A = this chain, B = another copy of it.
């Protein structure tokens, strides 16, 4: 007979905590043993997952206690915190191209990897799964519009005859015009995100918080506000610690494995930062709650473009060390525009099958292949 804790660890929301041992392991490898960068990187990557999951859980509990208004705000603000924290540390290390790669990688991963895995997992159990195309359509329109705004400075740079950043670079100086333009685009995106929050909190709650309306994977008694707040703080610190270790070892580790920093940012960092949410989407798909699965995958992508990316641009301008203009390389703008178009197309008929999931996953592998060769 499995204990309650055991059941939780094997449940949809419990599995990340199986990775808890990697947290002390990463600390020991980094600060005590001074192990090889590859080992440190691996341990820290695994260690991020449970801390991010705990942060998500604490946020939800806190939001639950705070009533719909402030709760929704909390959910949205802290929902993307792990990605933001990792990116802050990377920015601080001057790894701008890694940060931008991980942003694009998150969008691409949410559309192809997460939605693909969810459709495959769900489709293997249910012949044909349906979801409400109208709700998803609002999300995927949001993604498309934000993605187009996001790539506009890059298009400007391209048309003006300036080169795009190479795949192997860490940071490129694009001149003050592009920096100014990126800043304004970031402000416009955030303003429109604020509009979306207002919209969502007032009358259309489902837009940003699809999972909030539904039962979580495992229903327990709710936490107290105190417990939730303390857990959130502790989890945040733990994410920060893991992120610092992770980011500090990226350059050396990627060299040792023979992968480009670009690939590491686009595939590995992006997967690690979103792992907890990813699993939830697959979990819901397997329970035939396809609406939630598709909403999480498309909605998370939209939030990256509309909130996480502009916040990072503003941070880089305000806190430094260097401003990060929104200039992506050729792979990245291709990937984000195609991902937005694919998200719109694949969700448009409100039906999914395992074959559609398989195709999305295949395409993710093909993208990964191109990034690997780059």
Contacts and interface: CB of A to CB of B under 8 A. Distances in A.
Contact of A204 (B203, B342, B346, B355): B355
Nearest to A132: B349
A267 interface: no
Contacts of A350: 134
5 contacts: A156-B370, A159-B374, A181-B370, A196-B358, A199-B353
B156 A374 contact: yes
B138 A369 contact: no
Contacts of A141: 345-346, 356, 359
A15 interface: no
A88 B131 CA distance: 44
B207 A367 contact: no
Interface string A95-134: 0000000000000000000000000000000010000011
Interface of A is mostly: helix
A191 interface: yes
Interface string A298-327: 000000000000000000000000000000
Interface stretch (A1-9, A30-38, A146-154, A278-286): A146-154
Interface string A360-374: 101101110110011
Oligomer copy total: 3
B144 A204 contact: no
A288 interface: no
A224 to B, nearest CB: 35
A142 B359 contact: yes
Nearest to A333: B159
B156 A360 contact: no
Contacts of A145: 342, 346, 359-360, 362-363
A256 to B, nearest CB: 22
B334 A199 contact: no
Nearest to A164: B159
For this complex, into which size category does the number of interface residues on chain A fall?
Answer: 35 or more
Nearest to A149: B366
A177 interface: yes
A330 interface: yes
The 6 A-B residue pairs with the shortest CB-CB distance in the complex, in nearest-first order: A159-B330, A137-B349, A199-B355, A192-B362, A149-B366, A145-B359
Contacts of A142: 359
A19 interface: no
Contacts of A127: 203-204
A156 B184 CA distance: 31
A229 interface: no
Interface in A182-208: 184-185, 188-189, 191-192, 195-196, 199, 203-204, 207
Contacts of A345: 137, 140-141, 144, 344
B137 A369 contact: no
Contact of A373 (B156, B188, B199, B329): B156
Contact of A185 (B155, B356, B366): B366
Interface string A154-168: 011011100000010
